[in-house]
Amino acid sequence: MKRVAFLGLGAIGAPMAEHLALPPFELTVWNRTRAKADKFAASHSASVAATPAEAVRGAEIVVTCLPSSREVGEVLQGPGGILEALEAGAILIDCTSGDPAASREFAATLESRGAFFMDAPVSGGVVGAKAGTLTVMCGGQPAVVERARPVLEAFGKRIVLCGPVGSGHAVKAVSNALLAVHVWSTAEALAALKRMGVSAAIALDVINASAGRSNASQNLFPERVLTRAFPRTFRLALLDKDIGIATKLAAEAGAPVPLLDLAARLIHEARIELGEEADHVEAAKVVEARAGTIIE
C-alpha cells in the first residue's frame, strides 16, 4: 500500500488522480475549490483534505498538478502549506508544467527537510490522462525517480528520465513551444489556402499525407477547428506560460530562437484577446479574424 496525496484536480489533474484511487494506492486529495475534491471523492476511493498540509501528513508520495511553479511555491510554503507537514523521506512529484529554476529551489528546500523533489510534467492531454498513457518527463535523482515509478506508471506509459531536477520542465516547455508553433502556423496556412479558394478539409487531407503534417494538422484541426467544436481541454493561458518558459530558458542558455520568440508574442496576443479560459486551439480564431476567413 502506498499512501499518496494529490493536490490540484484541474482539467488534467483529476483524470490523473483517478488512477491513484485504486489499489495498491491509498489516496487523499486536496483542491483549492473544495467542491471539486468532494465531487471526485463521491465517485472514487479517496479522502478529501481541508488543507494541503492535512493532505500530505502520512503520505509517502505527494503529487502536485497546478497551473505554474508560482502556485506550487504557494502550496509548499504559503499558509497551510505542506513544507512543515511532509514526512521524512517523502517524495514530491511535481506534474505541473513548471519552471526549472523554481524547481531547483524547491528541491533544495525539500532536501534540507529530509524530503525529495522531482519534476514530472506530462504530455498526452486529457485523453491520455484518462487512458493512463501519458508521457512523463522526469527531472531528478535516478534513485528518487525509481522510487516514484509505481505512481508515475499509474498514469504514464512512457516514463523518461531527462536529467537532474528541472530537466523535465525544460523538455516540456520546449515541446509546448513547438505545439504553439504548429497550432499557429497550421492556422495561418489553412487560412491562406482558404483565401486562395481551397477548402480546409481538402488542404488537411493533402497535408496529412505530406511533409507538412503534425499533431495539429492530423488531430487538433480536423477534430476541433473544422468541426468548430473547440473543446476546452488545455488553456491557452497555460500554453502562453509554457512558451514563455521555453524562450526564457533559451535566452539564458544563449541560444537564439527568433521563431519561438515570435510565436511567444503571437500566443500572448491571442491570450489577451481571448481571455484566461480559452482553449489553446482557439488561437486559430485569432488567425481567422486577422485573415478575414473561417477555417472550415
Q: Which residues pair with 46 in a beta bridge?
A: 27
Residue of 11, 48, 42, 9 whose CA lies nearest to 27: 48
Residue of 182, 188, 179 whose CA lies nearest to 125: 179
| Smallest distance, ligand NDP to C-beta of residue 234, A | 4
Positions in 217-236 near ligand NDP (CB under 6 A): 233-235
Active site (annotated) includes residue 241: no
* DSSP letter, residue 80: T
- Catalytic one of 36, 172, 248, 285: 172
Strand 25-30, strand 61-64: pairing: unpaired
160 vs 192, beta carbon nearer ligand NDP? 160
| Smallest distance, ligand NDP to C-beta of residue 18, A | 13
String of contacts with ligand NDP for each residue 67-86, x by CB under 6 A = x---x--xx-----------
For ligand NDP, which stretch binds (CB under 6 A), given 59-67, 84-92, 136-144, 207-215?
A: 59-67
Alpha carbons 146 and 148: distance in angstroms, whole number: 5
Residue written as grid cell 490523473: 16
Interface with ligand NDP (CB under 6 A), residue total 26
Positions in 119-148 near ligand NDP (CB under 6 A): 122-123, 125-126
- Our finding on whether 156 is near ligand NDP (CB under 6 A) is no
- Our finding on whether 184 is near ligand NDP (CB under 6 A) is no
Measured between its terminal Cα atoms, the distance across the chain in Å is: 51
**Which ranges in the chain belong to alpha helices (H)?**
13-18, 34-43, 52-56, 69-77, 100-112, 125-131, 142-155, 167-195, 200-207, 215, 236-253, 258-274, 283-291
Positions in 83-112 near ligand NDP (CB under 6 A): 96-97
- Our finding on whether 46 is near ligand NDP (CB under 6 A) is no
Query: C-alpha cell of 191?
Result: 487560412
Residue of 75, 71, 20 whose CA lies nearest to 47: 20
- Our finding on whether 33 is near ligand NDP (CB under 6 A) is yes
194 vs 224, beta carbon nearer ligand NDP? 224
Residues in touch with ligand NDP (CB under 6 A): 8-13, 31-33, 36, 65-67, 71, 74-75, 96-97, 122-123, 125-126, 233-235, 238
Residues forming the active site:
172
